[in-house]
Amino acid sequence: MEYKRLFLFTLLLAICFLIGVTWADTNNATNKVEPQKPTTATPLPKVLSTGIAPSPNSTTAPKCVCDGALLPRLGENELEICPECKCKHEARNTTLIKVVVIIVIWIISILVIYMLFLMCLDPLLNKRVKANYQEHTNEDDDTTSASPPMSSSANQELNSRANVLNRVGHQQDKWKRQVREQRRHIYDRRTMLN
138 touches another protein (CB under 8 A): no
Binding residues among 54-113 for another protein as defined by CB under 8 A: 55-58, 66-67, 82, 84, 86, 88-94, 96-98, 100-104, 107-108, 111-112
DSSP letter for 81, please.
E
37 touches another protein (CB under 8 A): yes
Q: Is the dihedral of CA 159, 161, 167, 173 positive or negative?
A: negative
191 touches another protein (CB under 8 A): yes
64 forms bridges with which residues in the sheet? 80
Task: List the one residue from 14, 15, 118, 165 that touches another protein (CB under 8 A).
Answer: 118
Residue 65 and residue 79 in contact, taking contact as beta carbons nearer than 8 Å: yes
Task: List the one residue from 1, 13, 24, 32 that touches another protein (CB under 8 A).
Answer: 32
Helix/strand/coil percentages in the chain, nearest 5: 65, 5, 30
Nearest distance in Å: CB 19, another protein:
16
SS3 for 141? helix
Residue 156 and residue 148 in contact, taking contact as beta carbons nearer than 8 Å: yes
Residue 87 and residue 48 in contact, taking contact as beta carbons nearer than 8 Å: yes
Residues making contact with another protein (CB under 8 A): 25, 29-30, 32-33, 36-37, 44, 46, 48-53, 55-58, 66-67, 82, 84, 86, 88-94, 96-98, 100-104, 107-108, 111-112, 115, 118-119, 175, 178-179, 182-183, 185-187, 190-194
